[in-house]
A and B are shown apart, each in its own frame.
Chain A
Amino acid sequence: MRLTGALPNFVVFAALIAVAVIADLTGNPYIVTLATKVAIFGLAGVGLNLALGYGGLVSFGHAAFFGLGGYVTAILASHAASATPVATFPFTMMGTNEMLAIWPFAILVAGFAALVIGALSLRTKGVYFIMVTLAFAQMLYYFAISWPTYGGEDGLSFYVRNTFPGANTFAPLQFFGICATMLAITMVLVALLTQSRFGLALRAAKENETRVIASGIKPFAIRLTAFVLSGMVAGLAGALFADLNRFVSPTMLSWHMSGEIIIFVILGGVGRLAGPIAGAAVFITLEYLLGPISDHWQALLGFLLILIVLFAPKGLMGLALGKRGNA
């Protein structure tokens, strides 16, 4: 990683930490909650960016992975609370409320779904890819609404935030710390990945497919790998989001959610490591500040977004950095 490239990402991340810590010290736990939300949506965005920003794969269905991660968390936690097994076949599996035990499951389930959806969707390109990923997410959404076992449209509450060794997850700042740490680890891994041979091949496949094929690399395999990794990160973010709210519902799987994650990525700057964090931060701050002004705050938000697209075509980080940073 070049220092000049890494610095803006570091600044964005540090600013997020600073906001959370200052809010906690000044007795504003709700601001800490909002910062946590930024970290979680930022994480989902970092995941999506891997497919969208670096791989050029515009997925309109990442809510599927986000929601699956959330549902895995809620299902394991609610079974742990009621002391009933999650499954009895092929082996008895009990629930758990340990985050460290839940996360691998959430990531694996999301990754497996991404493998299946990606393998089928990657046959298509461009707008068709956008829509076919949406289709798969919508199938899961309608399934979740009408499947009664885990609450259907009412969603599933588990009331108690899951536990993490050595931390009180109820304390807003400590839970924020957990989310921010996962975000930091993921950002480092993504940075390493995009600088690796794999990352170069992924970007090359986006820029010039023919040349990549000529050099003996299979773009399909590269893209599928990126898509699966991207889904896994979204799954982890979903798991954290479930814990933030102690609740999951089909809205986590809806196309609005997919759209929101895409918007965080575009708003911050496509293909920039910390872009989604900046995007989520700006979006959530606007929501928070405009809400009390008027019942019609969403119109104001819309106007601001239009101005940003028209006058900051490379996203907020692009606007802030001018022509310099392009990491």
Chain B
Amino acid sequence: MTLKGKLIAGLATLALTAGMAHAEGVKVGMITTLSGGGAGLGIDVRDGFQLALKMAGTSDVELIVEDDQQKPDIAVQIADKMIQSDQVDVLTGIIWSNLAMAVVPAAVAQGKFYLSPNAGPSALAGAGCDKNYFNVAWQNDNLHEAAGAYANSAGYANSFMLAPNYPAGTDAIAGYKRFYEGAAAGEVYTQLGQTDYAAEIAQIRNSGADSVFFFLPGGMGIAFMKQYAESGVDIPLVGPAFSFDQNILQAVGDAALGVRNTSQWNKDIDNPANAAFVEAYQAEYGRLPSLYSSQGYDTANLLLSAMAKADLKDADAFRAALEAADFASVRGDFAFGPNHHPIQDIYVREVVKEGDVYTNKIIGTALEDRGDAYAAECKM
């Protein structure tokens, strides 16, 4: 028996004990981070998702939300519960790549659909891809690749690169270098969760670099940008949108002004779907949507579009309906590649201040119709 065969045989026991009966409509299990330091991202994804359901006015989707506390073992146990006890049809919501790696392979092997609103680890885009796994955000490398492409067009030829020492960090620098054509002034891996960057900023100052690429998600990025602004070093920064989302920018303040960053979405993308989303989100929650909100919103709309076309009981038809991606994405054109990862434009944004609020403005396109580097390895 192959590995996959064994897995399916074993898990079939579970599916049998769990039974199959439930009524019309689709049951969605959302596993996301709602407590602790990383809660902001999960809350945005959940709010975006719920807003889309509310705006569609549908009662066909039953949504169960659970907090994974950003711990992989908790996420695995919640997934077991949702599949075994709640009998959900579709799973979604995970923010972090390491949690996705722990949950997604087992969930899709049990015949569940998984729609990723945020994490896109390379293993799930390449050899580990699956016909029931759809990524509605990006492959993890995408925004870094776009930063590399932008660095070329900005004429940078000697970049200093900075990322935490963990798989997503090494992937970030690899993604940047896939498009960036210049030399490396330095490549530094910091400790995960580090909050003081004096030593690294000193190295940047002395490196002779003409640009600094950094990937430091969450609080790490806030700390780095504030300290960088105070250090008197004025080499331009470039990075992926994760350090520049709507919520983080308010905490960084002036230190982020003018920094160029790459994103597949921004609130000023000019299409009716996006305008409606940004307005409704502000009306509903009293704050501007973030990148993560937009991804949660698109995920829900993708699901609704597939439900309108096909019945979930016919998995093949439902999968084909998902593949068609026949929904109005807030980022404009959106299609799935052969490995069920997005093909989309990635923009360059600049941090600006509008009144009292720090936000981003699109200043150009870094990559057009970008798929990802792993699609060729995917055999579905």
**Complex: A in contact with B (CB within 8 Å):** yes
Query: Is the beta-carbon distance between B13 and A171 smaller than 8 angstroms?
Result: yes
Q: Do B67 and A291 touch across chains, with their CB atoms under 8 A apart?
A: yes
What residues of chain A have their CB less than 8 Å away from a CB belonging to chain B? 27-30, 33-34, 37, 81, 142, 145-146, 148, 151-155, 157, 159-161, 168-172, 241, 245-247, 249, 251-252, 291, 295-298
A263 to B334, CA, bound (A): 49
A241 to B74 alpha-carbon distance, docked (Å): 12
- Given A146-B165, A168-B10, A291-B67, A155 and B102 contact (CB-CB distance below 8 Å): yes
Report chain A residues within 8 Å CB of B67. 291, 295
CB-CB < 8 A to A252: which residues of B?
73
Q: If the complex has contacts A148-B170, A295-B35, are A154 and B101 also in contact, measured as CB distance less than 8 A? A: yes
With a CB–CB cut-off of 8 A, which chain A residues contact B77?
30, 33-34, 37, 245
> Which residues from chain B contact A152 at a C-beta distance below 8 Å?
166-167
Which residue of chain B is the closest to A247 with respect to CB atoms? B102
Residue contact A247 to B14, C-beta cutoff 8 Å: no
Interchain CB contact under 8 A, A145 and B3: no
Q: Is the CB of A29 within 8 A of B166?
A: no
The residue in chain B whose Cβ has the minimal distance to the Cβ of A241 is B73
Q: Write out the residue numbers on chain A whose beta carbons fall within 8 Å of the beta carbon of B10.
A: 160-161, 168-170
- Nearest chain A residue, comparing its CB with the CB of B192: A145
- Complex CA gap A13/B301 in Å reads 48
CA distance A260 to B121 in the complex (A): 29
Bound CA span A154–B168, Å: 8
User: A153 touching B98 by the CB < 8 A rule?
Assistant: yes
B6-A155 in contact (CB<8A)? no
Subset of 11 A-B contacts with CB under 8 Å: A29-B85, A159-B7, A169-B10, A245-B102, A247-B73, A247-B76, A251-B71, A291-B66, A291-B67, A295-B39, A295-B67
A-B contact count (CB 8 A): 106
Question: What B residues does A296 contact at CB under 8 A?
Answer: 35
CB <8 Å contact, B72 and A155: yes
Mark out the residues of chain B between 9 and 51 whose CB falls within 8 Å of any chain A CB in the assembled complex: 10-11, 13-14, 17-19, 34-35, 39
B interface residues, how many (CB within 8 angstroms):
40
Asked whether B17 lies within 8 Å of A29 as measured between CB atoms, the reply is yes
Q: Which of B34, B97, B165, B168 has the most CB of A within 10 A?
A: B165
Give chain B residues whose Cβ lies under 8 Å from the Cβ of A298: 35
| Closest 9 pairs (CB-CB, A-B) | A153-B166, A30-B81, A170-B10, A29-B84, A154-B98, A30-B85, A245-B76, A247-B102, A146-B165
Q: How far is the CA of A171 from the CA of B12 in the complex (A)?
A: 10
Contact of A155 among B17, B84, B98, B168 (CB under 8 A): B98
In the assembly, what is the distance between CA of A291 and CA of B7, in Å? 31
- Whether, in the assembled complex, B210 has its beta carbon less than 8 Å from a beta carbon of chain A, the answer is no
A157 to B103, CA, bound (A): 9
B329-369 with Cβ < 8 A to chain A: none
